Amino acid sequence: MNLDQALRDAAEPVPARVEQAPAQALLDRIVRTPMDSAPAPAVTRLPRRAAVTVFAAVAAVAVALTVTLSNVGAGPAYASWTPDPSPLPAADRADLADRCVEQVGGTLPPAAGRRVVGELRGHYAYANVVTPTWTATCFRDRGGKVLYGGNMMAPVSRAALGGRGVEMQAWGQLRTDEGYCRLMAGHVGSEVVGVDLTVRNAAGGPARIVRTTMADGYFLAWYPERAAEANTNRTFLTLRLADGGTVDGLSARDLHDAPVLD
Amino acid sequence: MSRSTADPEAAFRELFRATYDDLLCFVERRISPAVADDVVAEVFLTAWRRFDDVPVARDEARAWLFTVAHNTLRNRHRSESRQRGLALRILREPDPAVGAEADGVAARVDLVRAWQHLSPDDQQVLTLTVFEGLTGPQAAKVLSISRPAFSLRLLRARRRLRHHLYQETVTTADTPRPGAIAEIGTTA
């Protein structure tokens, strides 16, 4: 007998459950929800070798495109997007959060003690719903369609973040009718008064600066980003501190893997 | 390959029926059974909403669901797993064709103990291959690592399991039983 078979034989068997009532109820519940809101895959990181290959393949094209693009990864899509956000009115914010969380159905615990941070960029609204046990992002496209971005469980407490800590609560691409965009949101320590993003593309073109919306220690922003750029763009956070100092060079991707606790 | 959109609900129901038990088992190996249902619900909801992105081939669709589940679990456990890795439970999907007790209780105990000495990372690569039946490329994709990196991890995990198994066998017997180890490790 080989090792694999020995392991399989040693494993504890579990019964089939697909025909049981909870599974059937779940299936029926899911197929009643609309299919058309389409959160994109939380694009996973390519291994370094693959990323280099992608870089080589797109570099020549990207060099040419850099000359003509004025926004991060944007063509005509997301044309009204702006690097600086505008406030999202409170009623609009609450409505966006309600419609978004509603789409998730019963898959998240009740949103007790929730707060919503939101913003406008051009014709688009974006919000992060934060509760003590989970966070969820919501996006409203230019046509008014609300898309669910994703969620994160067990956010770090404000106390754990201390003065200069950062937790990335959302970091993924979303597909809308206009193509892909990058959604991000997070939570910072008490000494941080602002967060800016620096987005560098693989072609080495000029870096783009995106200013995030900040409220009560929570920040969020989004920007157009093609699917192919998910693994080639490099995004860094700069924290602006209450004492006038800054902390820069924080990789968004690394922060998503593990927060910085102060 | 794209999916026919003639009757997506029927196709999704078929996918659900074919993969629910495997996915639930995948999740239960990695998280408390008390919350496994929630994760499975989240994964299938994602699959439903992104049904066009789900591979048509059943084997690839199953691997796709595992990748989504892995990322979902990673998000859920992110804060706590920094402090401690999560041990994987040894569970076996329902399969009437499997179920030998050939090695007896003692061998099973040795293996389970040896398994518990492995790091969660070692348990992860072995589980993807041995229990979840993924190919090397599929498992590498779940973990977002390259194929050679996965192969190397798997090789090392097998080595360490054999080592722990040997230790267990030596510890639990009056005399070493190298023959038993050689037999178990021949096709790793």
Alpha helices in chain A (DSSP H): 3-10, 21-32, 48-68, 90-104, 158-161, 252-257
pLDDT tens across A68-82, in order? 333 444 447 899 999
**Residue A260 carries which DSSP code?**
B
Cα–Cα distance for residue pair B64/B56, rounded to 1 Å: 10
The pLDDT score that the predictor gives to residue B95 is 54
Using 70 as the pLDDT threshold, list the residues of chain B that sit under it. Answer: 1-5, 77-87, 92-108, 168-188
The pLDDT score that the predictor gives to residue B167 is 73
Pick the range with the lowest mean pLDDT from A42-56, A149-163, B52-66, B131-145.
A42-56
Q: How far is CA A99 from CA A127, A137, A146, A148, B138, in A?
A: 11, 11, 7, 9, 36
Residue A213 main-chain phi, psi, to 5 deg: -85, 140
DSSP 3-state assignment of A221?
strand
Q: Do B103 and A38 touch (CB under 8 A)?
A: no
Task: Decide which of B47 and A13 is more confident.
Answer: B47
Residues of chain B neighbouring A152 (CB-CB closer than 8 A): 75-76, 78
Does residue A127 surpass a pLDDT of 90?
A: yes
Domains and CATH numbers, chain B: 8-81 (1.10.1740.10), 104-185 (1.10.10.10)
Start-to-end C-alpha separation, chain B: 34
Residue A60 CB contacts under 8 Å (≥ 6 apart), including other chains = none
Pick the range with the lowest mean pLDDT from A9-18, A191-200, B173-182.
B173-182
Tokens representing B159?
A: 């080595």
Which H/E stretch holds residue B15?
Answer: helix B8-30
Task: Decide which of A243 and B52 is more confident.
Answer: A243
Integer-rounded Cα radius of gyration of chain A: 21
The pLDDT score that the predictor gives to residue A93 is 94
Tokens representing B60?
A: 């690839």
Q: Are A125 and A97 in contact (CB under 8 A)?
A: no
pLDDT tens across B123-161, in order? 999 999 998 999 999 998 888 888 888 999 999 999 998
Q: Which residue of A has its CA nearest to B131?
A: A8
The pLDDT score that the predictor gives to residue A90 is 93
ipTM exceeds 0.85: no
Residue owning tokens 């009056």? B174
Does residue A212 surpass a pLDDT of 90?
A: yes
Cα–Cα distance for residue pair A133/A198, rounded to 1 Å: 30
Residues of chain B neighbouring A154 (CB-CB closer than 8 A): 76-80
Does residue A111 surpass a pLDDT of 60?
A: yes
The pLDDT score that the predictor gives to residue A246 is 93
Q: Do B90 and A37 touch (CB under 8 A)?
A: no
Q: Do A26 and B42 touch (CB under 8 A)?
A: no
The pLDDT score that the predictor gives to residue A154 is 80
Residue owning tokens 């029927």? B10
Tokens representing B83?
A: 């402090």
- Paired with A209 in beta bridges are A198
Task: Decide which of A260 and B27 is more confident.
Answer: B27
Which H/E stretch holds residue A44?
Answer: none
User: What average pLDDT score do residues A46-54 get?
Assistant: 27
Cα–Cα distance for residue pair A175/A77, rounded to 1 Å: 12
Residues of chain A neighbouring B112 (CB-CB closer than 8 A): 10
Q: Which of B13, B92, B152 to mutate to test the interface with A (most CBs of A within 10 A)?
A: B92
Which H/E stretch holds residue B126?
Answer: helix B120-126
User: What average pLDDT score do residues A22-49 get?
Assistant: 62
Does residue A49 surpass a pLDDT of 60?
A: no
Residues of chain A neighbouring B94 (CB-CB closer than 8 A): 13-16
Pick the range with the lowest mean pLDDT from A18-22, A128-132, A222-226, A257-261.
A257-261
Pick the range with the lowest mean pLDDT from A18-22, A54-58, A221-225.
A54-58
Tokens representing B86?
A: 């999560």
> CB pairs under 8 A, 24+ apart, for A206-215?
A206/A66, A208/A71, A208/A72, A208/A83, A209/A83, A210/A72, A210/A83, A211/A83, A211/A84, A211/A85, A212/A85, A212/A184, A213/A85, A213/A87, A213/A117, A213/A118, A213/A119, A215/A117
User: What average pLDDT score do residues A98-109 get?
Assistant: 74
Q: Are A211 and A87 in contact (CB under 8 A)?
A: no
Q: Smallest CA–CA separation between B38 and chain A, in Å?
A: 6
Pick the range with the lowest mean pLDDT from A55-64, A212-221, B10-19, B90-99.
A55-64
Q: Which of A2, A9, A184, A187 to mutate to test the interface with B (most CBs of B within 10 A)?
A: A9
